[in-house]
Amino acid sequence: MHFVVCAKQIPDPETPPSAFRIDEANNEVIPAPGISPVLSQFDGMAAEAALRIIEAAGEGKITVISLGQESAQAAIKQVLAMGADEGILLEDDALQGGDSYTTARTLAAAIEKLGDVDAVFCGRQAADWDMGQVGLGLAELLGWPSAIIAKDVQIENGTMHVQRVLADGFETVALPLPAVVTISNEIGDPRYPKLQQIMRAARKTVNRWSAEDLGLDPSTVGDAGARLKLERLFIPELGGDVEIMEGESAEEQAQNLATTLREAKVL
Amino acid sequence: MARNILVIGELDGGALSSTTAELVGGASRLADGGQVSVTLTGAGASGQTDAAFAAGADRAFVNDDATYDEFRSDQWVGAAEQAIDQSAPDVILIAQSIVGRDLGPRLAFRRDTAVAMDCVSIEDSGGAFRATRPCYGGNAQATYAFATSPAIATVRAKSQEPLDPPREGASGEVVELSGAGESRAEIVGREAAVAEGLQLQDAPVVVSGGRGLGAPEGFGLVEELAEAIGTDKAAVGSSRAACDLGWYPPSQQVGLTGKVVTPDLYIAIAISGASQHMAGCSGSKTIIAINKDPEANIFKAARYGIVGDYKEVLPPLIEAVKNLD
Ligand SMILES: Cc1cc2nc3c(=O)[nH]c(=O)nc-3n(C[C@H](O)[C@H](O)[C@H](O)COP(=O)(O)OP(=O)(O)OC[C@H]3O[C@@H](n4cnc5c(N)ncnc54)[C@H](O)[C@@H]3O)c2cc1C
Ligand SMILES: Nc1ncnc2c1ncn2[C@@H]1O[C@H](COP(=O)(O)O)[C@@H](O)[C@H]1O
């Protein structure tokens, strides 16, 4: 079995809101000083899901693919340290920028170039733009079935069984391979690589493919090919205007809150 | 400018879902004299056309087939494509639901166009559609213009207003969709996991607990406060940190990757107010925070707050609420 894990490097989503800044002139997030970019959380979970299946089967290979800048090597290395076998960085000027459409198109071209892929594992959404569509876009471009927001994935006799998270429960879906699945946090925390694995990952191969290597016309990828044009990025007002309850004791504060809520007709 | 809008409708227990009514209402404003169409698929669909016309639709594409009661993307994409071919929409609106999260991107890629997910507003200005949506875990919002047509948006519940009053007795055109077709995905099991009683999204009051409760037992006090407010009014929610620790069921998680709630009153207890949590509750009318850290982000979004240890604050608060006549 050959699996692909799609891994994106993003600004740390757990950056405290007070340190979150936007460059409104360029519609960009300003990296918070001292906070390094990270592997998008759900992509680590996608790697975990793929690794569990390979371990249970006792055979198989994982290729991790990232579309990004040079620094995205770190995200690839992290998945390699978890246990993936090979990495591919899709990187060149033509591929920069872009949207979900161009991302899916570029990743699909890489998966087609690999040729022998049985399943693709993505995160449920990249924790920067929170779109949640690249996995489904891949499925559509490759012509494969898919299931999203999984809490468990098993593969048996060429069929993928995905337990999906619904609003009011769970549903198990059977998909013929090859297929795409997107993973949610209900799957559990990804494994934490040991030092030895990190060192071994440093020696694993990371190939680098450009738009040309993928046979992609530069006008259809990156910024040039994007279909959603970002016009404005801004920080919304929270505007709570908080009134803190006074009181000598917790009892007094609590009583004040109850009275205030009654007077404001909130309770 | 007159625009044709297609809404992908959903049924809830056989009836037009409240979000579908919101989307059709929003569509009828956006259409500006153009046609509003809606798809209605699933058991009972043909009985819901009048509700859809009252909500603002001019035309309903119907397939009263229980196959659609469960989501299989091949079949839902098929139904949507038939409706697109017959209504030539400029814009397609889909709820950001279990259906929409999957159908939106599938449909966009199938039709070689683009979708913006989880939008909170859609406007038609200067001859182009623009959609605004939260991103960066709710820290930011982004406004996009669409370079391709039709523009597809999945839309957050409660972000569009239903027609008020509805067009009672309005009529429209009913078009039958053809068969559901094959599905590559097969649903082989289903398990319900949902709290009994009042549902989070329906409750006028939501009382939520977080990691600062320190132990699962802390939810006992949170539940007592909800009961004091009234079991017919208040539901209990949780932060993801508390769910991940196994202190409270994942079905009750509020936030970006949990449920989006818009109650009259949201009470956050021992929750720091991370952007991804606020993404699920910032639409609440009034937010109250109880947190021992005066610098906690939650106080920036709250209208009222108590700085203190929940263990000391909740017991007298529960009594005080019980004593409100
Ligand atoms: C991609 C992504 C998606 C996410 N989705 C969600 C989501 O859907 N929902 C969600 O909630 N989170 C989500 N998160 C996680 C989010 O970033 C936060 O980590 C999480 O919300 C923190 O939960 P918390 O506030 O309960 O815990 P903490 O941040 O640990 O806060 C605990 C709070 O309790 C207070 N406290 C401690 N002891 C007491 C006491 N005795 N009395 C009173 N107050 C006390 C502390 O001052 C602190 O403010 C997501 C994160 C990512 C990266
Ligand atoms: N630049 C990228 N490189 C690799 N994988 C990506 C990239 N962007 C998105 N993905 C994958 O697609 C998933 C969903 O992303 P999105 O649709 O952008 O929210 C992510 O969790 C990744 O698995």
**What's the pLDDT tens digit per position in A41-88?**
999 999 999 999 999 999 999 999 999 999 999 999 999 999 999 999
Q: Are the CB atoms for B191 and B251 separated by under 8 Å?
A: no
Q: What is the DSSP letter of B247?
A: S
Q: Is B165 part of the contact surface with chain A (CB cutoff 8 Å)? A: no
Shortest CB distance from A136 goes to which of B106, B135, B324? B106
In CATH, which superfamily holds the domain spanning B5-176? HUPs (3.40.50.620)
The answer to whether the CB atoms of A130 and B147 lie below 8 A apart is no
Cβ neighbors of B290 (< 8 A, separation 6 or more) are B267, B268, B269, B270, B305, B306, B308, B310, B313, B314, B317
Question: Which DSSP string corresponds to A44-100?
Answer: HHHHHHHHHHHHHHT--EEEEEEES-GGGHHHHHHHHHHT--EEEEE--GGGSS--H
Mean pLDDT of successive 10-residue stretches along chain B, which has 325 residues = 96 96 97 97 98 98 97 97 98 97 98 98 92 96 97 96 95 96 96 84 96 98 97 96 94 94 97 95 95 96 97 98 89
Residue whose CB lies within 8 A of the most ligand 1 atoms, among B239, B282, B299, for a mutation test: B239
pLDDT at A239 over 80: no
Please measure the distance between the N-terminal and C-terminal CA atoms of chain B and give it in whole angstroms.
54
Please state, in angstroms and rounded to a whole number, the distance separating the CA atoms of residues A63 and B72: 29
CA of residue A241 relative to chain centroid, distance: 34
- Residue with the smallest CA separation from ligand 2 atom 4 is A66
Question: What is the A68 CA–ligand 1 centroid distance (Å)?
Answer: 30
Among residues B106, B129, B104, which one has the least CA distance to residue B118? Answer: B104
- Our CA angle for B298, B301, B307, nearest 5°, is 45
Please tell me which residue of chain A has the smallest CA distance to B230: A267
Buried b (16+ CB within 10 A) or exposed e, B244-278: beebbebbbbbbbbbbbbbbebbbbbbbbbbbbbb
Same CATH fold assignment for domains B5-176 and B200-322: yes
Q: Are the CB atoms for A205 and A76 separated by under 8 Å?
A: no
SS3 state at B120:
coil
What average pLDDT does range A132-159 have in this prediction? 97
Buried b (16+ CB within 10 A) or exposed e, B140-153: bbbbbbbbeebbbb
Domain B200-322 class in CATH: alpha beta
The answer to whether the CB atoms of B301 and A261 lie below 8 A apart is no
The answer to whether the CB atoms of B316 and A251 lie below 8 A apart is yes
Residues of chain A contacting B319 with CB distance shorter than 8 Å: 254
Cβ neighbors of B68 (< 8 A, separation 6 or more) are B41, B42, B43, B45, B75, B76, B79, B180
Check pocket membership of A8 for ligand 2, CB cut-off 6 A. yes
Q: Are the CB atoms for B58 and B36 separated by under 8 Å?
A: yes
Check pocket membership of A68 for ligand 2, CB cut-off 6 A. yes
Q: How far is B218 from chain A (nearest CA, A)?
A: 17
Name the pTM for this structure: 0.96
The dotted CATH code for A2-225 is 3.40.50.620
The encoded tokens of residue A13 equal: 């989503």
Q: Indicate the domain borders of chain B.
A: 5-176, 200-322
The answer to whether the CB atoms of B137 and A104 lie below 8 A apart is no
pLDDT at A9 over 90: yes
pLDDT at A267 over 70: yes
**What's the pLDDT tens digit per position in A179-192?**
999 999 999 999 99
What residue ranges in chain B does DSSP mark as E strands? 5-8, 11-12, 15-16, 36-41, 59-63, 91-95, 114-119, 121-125, 128-135, 140-146, 151-155, 173-176, 186-192, 205-209, 234-238, 265-269, 286-291, 304-307
Residues of chain A contacting B309 with CB distance shorter than 8 Å: 250
Q: How far is A200 from chain B (nearest CA, A)?
A: 31
Check pocket membership of B222 for ligand 1, CB cut-off 6 A. no
Q: What is the pLDDT of residue A240?
A: 67
Buried b (16+ CB within 10 A) or exposed e, A117-128: bbbbbbbbbbbb
Q: What percent of chain A has pLDDT over 70?
A: 99
In B253-312, the residues whose Cβ lies within 8 Å of chain A are: 256-257, 259, 264-265, 273-276, 278, 282, 286-289, 294, 297, 299-309, 312
The answer to whether the CB atoms of A167 and B276 lie below 8 A apart is no
What average pLDDT does range A126-154 have in this prediction? 98
Shortest CB distance from A242 goes to which of B110, B250, B305? B305
State chain A's mean pLDDT as an integer: 96
